[in-house]
Amino acid sequence: MSDTVQEKVGNISDILKIVSRANESFVYEIFVPSLDRNVGFREINTSQQKRLLKAVIDSPAYNTEFIIALRNIIKENCIEDLNPDDFDILDKLIIAMTMRSISISNDFDLQFKVPDSEESITRRISIKDLVDDAIAKIDIKPTTINDDRGTFEILCGLPTIADEFKLENELRKNTKSIEITNEAQLRETVGEVFTNEIVKFIKQVNIKNENDEIIEFNLKNLKFKDRISILEQLPAKVNNKIIEYITSVNKEFEKVLLFSEEVNGKKIEQRLKIDSSFFTQS
């Protein structure tokens, strides 16, 4: 290599600075529903994709490492003076799908396992079409839940990226990968995940005291263990109504994420999972 070429290459620090500046030109816009406008993001780089793929070894029950990795990448790649932690999980879905479409590939091959067979079928999906459908079709609003006596008022809404991160960081980050070896462990794990998922949707609890005064408790700054303690003391009927709200939210997401195929006269369904495997090449 000539001296002239060596001078142009420079040292590793210079090269990384040049690559970083070049990456600034790979900026695109994503529509964020909670803001009702487009926000600029950088493309995912190779190092970030590697961090996402490393989360493949995470516990299938919790998916903690992926949730934390994706949250950090969204924060790193947002080019505007915003706090992405305030985005809700619908925003996160659209951002994640668009990032994958732009940075890796717009095509994704969804596998359907054929019942009573070792075979599977593949449907190729356009992620951009899913993003368009999510923006057009998913309609989720906050709701207020009351008990029959008018004592409790529960304000529910979509969890934010911050809610998800705090839950994973507080309750699961230091938990070793779980190996479920018996039915009792399965019931315990499913019950824990279910309770944690419910509490993410509760924004505020208002309680009427014996003097008919309303005491408001905003849960935003409470630890999740404390939130769970509050949830466990609520009347069962109130809890059931919260679950009904969450079920309605999941049905809205399934408008985009749930797919079906007919095989040998039978309908089979598969849900697209936004996890580490989503960020691999099809």
| DSSP secondary structure letter of residue 180 | -
Checking phi first, is residue 268 left (phi over 0); if not, alpha (psi -120 to 50) or beta?
beta
Spatial CB neighbours of 280, under 8 Å, sequence gap ≥ 6: 53, 104
What is the domain count for the chain?
Answer: 1
Domain with 58 in it: 1-282
Query: Which pLDDT score is estimated for 64?
Result: 85
Inter-residue contact 157 to 142 (CB < 8 Å): yes
Over the chain, what is the mean pLDDT? Answer: 85
Confidence at 194, pLDDT banded by 50, 70, 90: confident
Spatial CB neighbours of 157, under 8 Å, sequence gap ≥ 6: 88, 142, 143, 201, 203
Secondary-structure percent of the chain, ordered helix, strand, coil, rounded to 5: 50, 20, 30
Amino acid (1-letter code) at residue 171: L
Query: Which pLDDT score is estimated for 114?
Result: 85
CB atoms within 10 A of CB 263: 15
DSSP bridge pairs for 28: 41
In this structure, of 4-18, 83-97, 141-155, 226-240, the range with the lowest mean pLDDT score is 4-18
For residue range 109-166, list pLDDT tens digits in order.
999 988 878 888 999 999 999 999 999 999 999 999 999 888 999 999 999 999 999 9
Residue 58 Cα distances to 46, 69, 100, 122, 182, angstroms: 20, 11, 20, 25, 19
